[in-house]
Structure 1
Amino acid sequence: MTFRGDTAVLVLAAGPGTRMRSDTPKVLHTLGGRSMLAHSLHAMTKLAPQHLVVVLGHDHQRISPLVAELAQTLGRTIDVALQDRPLGTGHAVQCGLSALPDDYAGIVVVASGDTPLLDADTLADLIATHSAATPRARPRSRC
């Protein structure tokens, strides 16, 4: 389920999760004994991406320790990009892209940190479908 090494994954975990009406950040809520963010990062790691970036914003002080713990558990580097101001999902993606090397030209998978049921097989199918298609757009701006 690994790819040629030209895949980057951005996991968006910057939102406040206000619809949950909870003091706990949405990505820290657990399902089956594991946080939603942990479920997402475990699935993303199975893809063996060249770059794995988690975009944090609201309550980043509470989520950062989990990201560090997961990096150790998963045995890989997980970069963190900070979205200082909540300017929406597009801006969060832009912040995540800014954590990638300037010359990075591979595939970028964008996923939410609150999708615990998204599995590696589905992501692999997504990447395979994308790889077989003709690219229509390339990101140019940085955060």
Structure 2
Amino acid sequence: MAEMDFKQVNGIALAYLGDAAYEVYIRQHLIEQGLTKPTKLHHLATHYVSAKAQAALIALMEEDQLLTDEEWEYYKRGRNANSHTHAKHTSVLTYRVSTGFEALMGYLKLSEQTDRLAQLSQWCIEQVEARRTEKDETNN
């Protein structure tokens, strides 16, 4: 897609695409772990793709200064977009932050920055797994 074209796409549309693009990485990762039962796959995927998880990942990205200025701009475009849907199991703020996360991923997909999309998705997977490991160790 031409540079001018994707720069005109609104934050909600970017989030729509980003949700799907990021989820493909998560689904592939889970299947590569040897998981095959749909119920288990869905349950585990929510640790990566829920609004709460995505909001936590954005906070870590900010803490680690992981994103470029341009990437932050696309995140903010999604976060600040007027959505006609509402948060189901989370606060409005968390939902908006997760929409920004998805818009960032949509921007990377639409602008054909596949290496960067893969890099950030892998980083997210590693962060979620580290948090799950810490949680498991705390519970044992």
The TM-score with structure 1 as length reference comes to 0.32
The structure with the largest strand share of the pair is: 1
The TM-score with structure 2 as length reference comes to 0.32
The structure with the largest helix share of the pair is: 2
